[in-house]
């Protein structure tokens, strides 16, 4: 199959199937139900499961591979499974799995990615690469580069969020800016979203899927199980085939192409926004000039750049305003931190003219 062409054909390109293959009957029944709705383009099942703690269910391994492959054939859909080392690759190729995916705990490790890339030399099978567990764009980019160097031409990215300690809403925090930056770096690689692992619970799937489609993602991977609450792995986030169908029916697909009229409205608004950006940056430049004047004064009077107590008050004042301005406190905090860093850089320059920094 040509993954890139298939992804272009259907938006969203949906991959669905259980977190783990558990029994032959489970794999066959859920993949058949999924395929019957006609909305899913590829079937998934985890065969080797990377689990955080030992003694969790770690997948059935090779035993379950023929079940997945047979279900693909019966339903006339390509199948995909996760590989994490050269042995997995060799076994998946032996059973003619159509597409491989690399999990988040593997993308994080360049040695493991290189091992997989080496095992794939000379086999141009499509590979889907999940983001690394930590929010490091270049590790993700590096994985694509290693696979490209091994001759893999059909690659897709799968955004599953980033590890976080006890978040009230997400199992893995999305950090949408990272996949957006990936698309800037690698514009030809299709981008898919895995709302199941971002949300960690089925109630969160619609919101995340909708957002992904509004950000022009090409597709979705949704964990689907015949009896989610009894699943051997990830029970809270899986949906039934009926749940998958409802979810896909509820996603609004908005267009990227604009009519003349829509375009003219948006062009005017974009110009107004660009005007605001001009003002913001010219104010920032003025602010930095003022910081330099303060720097000259501090230099002449031997005063340190940072007055911790003053800075604490500056931050507190702005944070108090965040709500009234309808801005999130994280946004206000990161803007203020960026301004402060730049201001320190300007003051350092005037206070220590001889030092490079």
Give contact residues for Mn ion (rule: CB under 5 A).
Answer: 19, 234
Interface with ligand PEP, residue 130, by CB under 6 A: yes
* 119 versus 129: smaller Cβ distance to Mn ion: 129
| Contact track, ligand PEP, 37-76, x by CB under 6 A | ---------x---x--------------------------
- Among ligand PEP, Mn ion, none, the one that 130 touches (CB under a kind-dependent 5 to 8 A) is ligand PEP
As measured in angstroms, the least distance from the Cβ of 196 to Mn ion is 6
Per-position DSSP letters for 13-65, written without gaps between them:
EEEEE-SB---HHHHHHHHHHHHHTS--SEEE-BSS---SSTTS----GGGGH
- With CA atoms as reference, report the closest residue to 212 among 201, 225, 199: 199
Q: How far is CA 323 from CA 328, 332, 336, in A?
A: 7, 10, 15
Query: Which residues contact residue 272 at a Cβ distance below 8 angstroms, ignoring those fewer than 6 apart?
Result: none
**Rounded Cα distance, 328 and 315, in Å:** 14
Interface with ligand PEP, residue 160, by CB under 6 A: yes
Interface with ligand PEP, residue 104, by CB under 6 A: yes
Selected range binding ligand PEP among 21-29, 99-107, 308-316, 349-357, rule: CB under 6 A: 99-107
* 62 versus 342: smaller Cβ distance to ligand PEP: 62
As measured in angstroms, the least distance from the Cβ of 333 to ligand PEP is 29
* 19 versus 155: smaller Cβ distance to Mn ion: 19
Helices 65-75 & 24-36, crossing angle to 10 degrees?
30
Tokens of 214: 């509004």
Q: Residue ranges of the alpha helices (H) in 95-231? A: 104-107, 110-119, 137-149, 177-185, 195-199, 205-214
Select the residue whose beta carbon is closest to ligand PEP and give its number.
103
* 197 versus 346: smaller Cβ distance to Mn ion: 197
Per-position DSSP letters for 232-268, written without gaps between them:
SS-GGG-B-HHHHHHHHHH-----SS--HHHHHHHHH
- Among ligand PEP, Mn ion, none, the one that 160 touches (CB under a kind-dependent 5 to 8 A) is ligand PEP
Q: Which of 7, 14, 19, 247 binds ligand PEP (CB under 6 A)?
A: 19
Helices 329-351 & 260-300, crossing angle to 10 degrees?
40
Interface with ligand PEP, residue 17, by CB under 6 A: no
Strand pairing class (172-173; 162-163): antiparallel
* 103 versus 295: smaller Cβ distance to ligand PEP: 103
| Contact track, ligand PEP, 190-229, x by CB under 6 A | ----x--x--------------------------------
* 155 versus 332: smaller Cβ distance to ligand PEP: 155
Beta carbons of 202 and 238 less than 8 angstroms apart: yes
Q: Which of 103, 179, 204, 228 binds ligand PEP (CB under 6 A)?
A: 103
Selected range binding ligand PEP among 102-110, 149-157, 275-283, 320-328, rule: CB under 6 A: 102-110
**Rounded Cα distance, 217 and 334, in Å:** 27
Query: Which residues contact residue 329 at a Cβ distance below 8 angstroms, ignoring those fewer than 6 apart?
Result: 319, 322
The residues of the shown chain that bind ligand PEP, judged by CB under 6 A, are: 19, 46, 50, 103-105, 130, 160, 194, 197
């Amino acid at each position: 199959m040509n993954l890139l062409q298939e992804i272009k054909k259907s938006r969203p390109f949906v991959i669905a199937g259980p977190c783990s293959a558990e029994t032959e009957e489970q794999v066959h029944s859920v993949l058949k139900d999924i395929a019957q709705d006609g909305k899913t383009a590829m079937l998934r099942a985890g065969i080797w499961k990377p689990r955080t703690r030992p003694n969790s269910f770690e997948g059935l391994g090779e035993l379950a591979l023929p079940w997945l492959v047979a279900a693909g054939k019966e339903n006339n859909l390509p199948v995909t499974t996760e590989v994490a080392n050269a042995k997995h690759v060799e076994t998946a190729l032996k059973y003619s799995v159509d597409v491989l995916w690399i999990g988040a705990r593997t993308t994080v490790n360049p040695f493991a990615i290189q091992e997989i890339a080496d095992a794939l030399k000379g086999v141009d099978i499509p590979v889907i690469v999940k983001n690394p567990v930590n929010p490091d764009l270049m590790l993700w980019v590096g994985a694509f580069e290693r696979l490209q160097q091994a001759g893999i031409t059909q690659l897709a990215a799968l955004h599953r969020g980033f590890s976080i300690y006890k978040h009230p809403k997400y199992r893995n925090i999305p950090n949408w800016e990272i996949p957006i930056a990936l698309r800037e770096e690698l514009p030809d690689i299709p981008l898919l979203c895995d709302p199941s692992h971002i949300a960690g619970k089925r109630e969160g799937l619609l919101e995340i899927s909708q957002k992904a489609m509004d950000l022009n993602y090409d597709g979705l991977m949704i964990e689907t199980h015949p009896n989610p609450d009894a699943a051997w792995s990830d029970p809270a986030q899986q949906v039934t085939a009926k749940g998958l169908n409802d979810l896909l029916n509820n996603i609004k697909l908005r267009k990227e192409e604009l009519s003349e009229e829509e375009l003219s409205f948006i062009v005017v608004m974009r110009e107004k926004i660009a005007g605001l950006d001009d003002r913001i940056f010219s104010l920032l430049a003025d602010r930095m000039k003022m910081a330099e004047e303060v720097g000259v004064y501090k230099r002449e009077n031997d005063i340190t750049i940072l007055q911790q107590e003053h800075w604490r008050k500056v931050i507190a004042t702005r944070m108090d305003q965040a709500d009234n301005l309808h801005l999130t406190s994280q946004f206000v905090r990161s803007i203020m931190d960026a301004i402060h860093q730049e201001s320190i850089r300007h003051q350092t320059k005037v206070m220590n003219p001889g030092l490079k920094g």
